[in-house]
């Protein structure tokens, strides 16, 4: 803590904060109780994952991809593998595509549920956290049974998925989701119907559409600011063009609308998973993988860019290869990297107690921003 | 679209006026083949126009220095700091061109082709 010439107080928050498991360090300048400047500092979780791509061959790098954002492992694996598959000219079997969409949407639900718990904790409530973590745990149990891992799965392989989903297991997923759908109403009643909740979230942390574009914000945060851009619809990948789903948009751009949209996304994802389950039940006998030797991935020389709509926004994998079994250059465009930058615009004008609410409403994962 | 690095700022300024108000991604790549060769980097800018829903990809090759575009696109501020940090490309007129990820006394720029990983000094002197 120190004072500057204008007698404003500068406070450094973090990097170790209970709600940011990976270190986000923020320096805020206070004029009385009001924040006048907010400077985030990145780099404390930098692991050189783009450099690692140049040292390891494609199959060795695959498990590392899921560590970029530990809450959206499937999205990153999909972005990476589709770049490789695109360069190799491979078309995935239909069943593999449906299984990937199913697991990604489950991933979206689990990520949003974790966000929901953490978000309400910043507002000082503890009861809904237990319920939302319990629901998330049910999805992690599904992941564990299916892939062997709860957080990082290594389930997607070049040319498909590692193994098939048994038909009996699909029924289990279905039951779990209907349970989540039911419990979600309880969660909503606990939060949104509470007058304290609405007074602390409405008109707080307002991000208008113009600023959202200037800071390159994507995903739910952009849709809450009044522009409908969802890369599942904009540049459809896998079988998203065969599935029916809305992309709701809000216009206020405040914390409350971001909350509403995330809850809405959970419901949409549940519906998407159910559509996938129906298809998988009807096409039980199709093949789920091309059975390619994973140690011999050699895409042709060239550049590939793939877009994936993760739980936090647009993930882009920009891969450049020269015909060898290693990447020449791999760049990850991660949504949190840009959201962190927008804090400098969003936070000033608020008080210190609103700072946590604004940060957590944006759903920032620092390991993703730092890579 | 391939353009010369000297015309980059003007081109992007024009595109921004034409509605490409969002810089979706900004990628750098080292093109040099061997360590003795002169520095050569490829910069790729992906722009988005929310009205027409169009994407525009601008590519340019630079040696070591280029005009900063952070006054046009606010999101480019961190992008340019990251590229400066990992590649050592200098952005003229950048408001705060410091390393973004690595510590300030780190030597070298790890994503350059001539960077020797074995010589990386880890840890910080106290």
Q: Where are the beta strands (DSSP E) in A82-216?
A: 156-157, 160-161
Taking the C-alpha atoms of residue B15 and residue A371, their distance in angstroms, rounded to an integer, is: 30
pLDDT at position B122: 65
Q: How many CB pairs under 8 A join A and B?
A: 72
Q: Identify from B40, B42, B50 which residue to disrupt to test chain A contact, counting A C-beta atoms within 10 A and taking the largest count.
A: B50
**Banded pLDDT at A201 (limits 50, 70, 90):** confident
Residue A89 within any structural domain of the chain: yes
Is the distance from CB of A213 to CB of A196 less than 8 angstroms? no
Closest residue in A to B25 (Cα–Cα)? A333
What would the CATH number be for the domain defined by B5-118? 3.30.460.80
Q: Is A16 on the interface with B (CB under 8 A)?
A: no
Residues A164, A169, A171, A172, CA torsion sign: negative
In a 10 Å sphere around its CB, with 0-12 CB exposed, 13-18 middle and 19+ buried, how is residue A59 labelled? middle
Shortest distance between the Cα of B109 and any Cα of chain A, in A, equals 11
- Is residue A57 in some structural domain? yes
Q: For residue A112, what are the CA distances in angstroms to A147, A364, B34, B123?
A: 20, 12, 46, 36
Chain A segment 188-217 residues within 8 A of B by beta carbon are 209-210, 213-216
Does the ipTM surpass 0.90? no
Q: Decide if A43 touches B, using CB distance below 8 A.
A: yes
Please check whether residue A53 is in contact with residue A332, taking contact to mean a CB–CB distance below 8 angstroms: no
Structural domain boundaries enclosing A260: 47-332
Find out whether A111 and A364 touch, Cβ atoms under 8 Å.
no
pLDDT of the residue at A334: 92
Question: Residue A142 in contact with residue A110, Cβ under 8 Å?
Answer: no
B98 has a chain A CB within 8 A of its CB: no
Tell me the backbone φ, ψ of residue B32, rounded to 5 degrees. Answer: -65, 140
Nearest to B111 among A43, A51, A215 (CB): A51
Q: At what angle do helices A167-191 and A127-147 cross, to 10 degrees?
A: 170
Residue A48, pLDDT > 90, answer no
Say what the pLDDT of residue A271 is. Answer: 92
Tell if the CB–CB gap between B50 and A213 is shorter than 8 Å.
yes
Please judge whether B100 and A215 are an interchain contact, meaning their C-beta atoms are less than 8 angstroms apart.
no
Is position A273 within any domain?
yes
Q: How far, in whole angstroms, is CA A233 from its chain's centroid?
A: 17
Residue A21's pLDDT is 57
Q: Rounded CA gap, A223 and A218, in Å?
A: 8
Interface-testing mutation among A211, A213, A217, A342, with chain B (most B C-beta atoms within 10 A): A213
Distances from the Cα of A330 to the Cα of A27, A304, A310, A339, angstroms: 31, 10, 18, 21
Separation of alpha carbons B21 and B76, rounded Å: 12
Report yes or no: A309 and A231 within 8 Å, Cβ to Cβ: yes
User: Residues 13 to 42 of B: which have CB under 8 A from any A CB?
Assistant: 21-25, 27-30
Q: CB under 8 Å to A168, separation ≥6 — which residues?
A: none
- Position B124 scores a pLDDT of 56
Could you give the number of structural domains in chain A?
1
With H, G, I as helix, E, B as strand and everything else as coil, classify residue A89.
Answer: coil
- Residue A160: name the closest of A241, A94, A73, A251 by CA: A94
Average pLDDT over residues A198-211: 86
Interface of B with A in 41-70 (CB under 8 A): 44, 46, 48, 50, 53
CB burial class (10 A; 0-12, 13-18, 19+) of residue B123?
exposed
Query: Residue A227: its chain B contacts at CB < 8 A?
Result: 50
Residue A13 tokens, joined: 């928050």
Condensed to tens digits (0 to 9), the pLDDT of residues A146-193 reads: 898 888 888 998 888 888 888 888 888 999 999 998 888 888 887 777
CATH code for position A94: 1.10.645.10
Domain coordinates in residue numbering, chain B: 5-118
Backbone angles phi, psi at A178, to 5 degrees: -70, -30
Cβ pair A214:B111 closer than 8 A: no
Distance CA A25, CA A27 (A): 7
Structural contact between residues A109 and A266, judged by C-beta atoms closer than 8 angstroms: yes
Q: Does A88 touch chain B (CB under 8 A)?
A: no
Segment (H or E) for B60:
strand B54-62
Residue A241 lies in a domain: yes
Read off the DSSP letter of residue A33.
T
Q: How confident is the model at residue A98 (pLDDT cuts 50, 70, 90)?
A: very high
Say if residues A40 and A22 touch (Cβ distance below 8 Å): no
For residue range A243-296, list pLDDT tens digits in order: 889 989 988 888 999 998 999 999 999 999 999 999 988 888 888 888 888 787
Nearest Cα to B4, choosing from B59, B76, B55, B64?
B59
Q: Residue A43: its chain B contacts at CB < 8 A?
A: 99-103
B96 reaches A (C-beta below 8 A): no
Is the residue at A29 inside a domain? no
pLDDT at B84: 92
Taking contacts as CB-CB distances below 8 angstroms, the residues of chain A near B86 are 50-51
pLDDT tens digits for range B38-54: 788 999 999 999 889 88
Q: Which of A184, A199, A212, A190 is nearest to A256 (CA)?
A: A199
- Please give the span between the terminal C-alpha atoms of chain B, in angstroms, as a whole number: 48
């Amino acid at each position: 803590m120190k004072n500057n010439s204008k007698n404003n107080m500068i406070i450094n928050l973090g990097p170790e904060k209970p709600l940011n498991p990976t270190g986000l360090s923020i320096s805020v300048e206070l004029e009385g109780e009001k924040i006048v400047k907010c400077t985030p500092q990145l780099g404390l979780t930098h692991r050189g994952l783009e450099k690692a791509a140049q040292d390891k061959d494609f199959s060795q790098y695959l498990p590392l991809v899921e560590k970029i954002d530990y809450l959206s492992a499937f999205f990153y694996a999909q972005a990476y593998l589709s770049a490789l598959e695109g360069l190799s000219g491979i078309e995935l079997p239909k069943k593999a595509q449906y299984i990937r969409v199913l697991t990604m949407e489950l991933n979206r639900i689990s990520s949003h549920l974790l966000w929901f718990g953490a978000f309400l904790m910043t507002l000082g409530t503890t009861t809904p956290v237990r319920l939302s973590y319990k629901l998330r745990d049910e999805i992690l149990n599904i992941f564990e049974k299916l892939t062997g891992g709860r957080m990082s799965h290594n389930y997607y392989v070049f040319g498909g998925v590692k193994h098939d989903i048994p038909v009996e297991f699909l029924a289990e997923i279905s039951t779990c989701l209907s349970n989540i759908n039911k419990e979600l109403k309880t969660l909503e009643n606990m939060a949104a119907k509470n007058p304290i909740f609405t007074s602390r979230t409405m008109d707080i942390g307002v991000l208008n559409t113009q600023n959202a574009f200037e800071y390159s914000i994507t995903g739910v945060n952009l849709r809450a600011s009044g522009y409908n851009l969802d890369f599942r619809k904009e540049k459809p990948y896998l079988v998203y063009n065969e599935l029916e789903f809305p992309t709701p948009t809000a216009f206020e751009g405040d914390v409350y609308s971001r909350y509403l949209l995330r809850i809405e996304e959970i419901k949409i994802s549940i519906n998407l998973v159910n559509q996938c389950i129906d298809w998988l039940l009807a096409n039980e006998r199709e093949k789920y993988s091309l059975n390619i030797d994973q140690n011999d991935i050699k895409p042709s020389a060239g550049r590939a860019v793939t877009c994936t709509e993760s739980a936090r926004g647009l993930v882009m994998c920009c891969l450049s290869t020269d015909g060898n079994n290693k990447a020449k250059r791999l760049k990850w465009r991660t949504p949190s990297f840009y959201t962190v930058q927008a804090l400098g615009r969003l936070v000033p004008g608020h008080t210190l107690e609103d700072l946590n609410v604004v940060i957590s409403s944006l759903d920032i994962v620092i390991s993703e921003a730092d890579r | 679209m391939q353009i010369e690095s000297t015309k980059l700022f003007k081109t992007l300024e024009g595109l921004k006026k034409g509605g490409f108000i969002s810089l979706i991604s900004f990628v750098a790549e080292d093109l040099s083949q061997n360590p003795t060769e002169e520095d050569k980097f490829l910069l790729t800018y992906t722009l988005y126009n929310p009205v027409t829903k169009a994407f525009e990809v601008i590519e340019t090759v630079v040696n070591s220095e280029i005009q900063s575009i952070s006054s046009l696109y606010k999101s480019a501020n961190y992008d340019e700091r990251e590229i400066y940090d990992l590649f050592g490309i200098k952005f003229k007129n950048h408001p705060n061109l410091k390393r973004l990820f690595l510590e300030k006394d780190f030597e070298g720029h790890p994503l350059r082709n001539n960077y020797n990983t074995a010589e990386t000094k880890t840890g910080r002197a106290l």
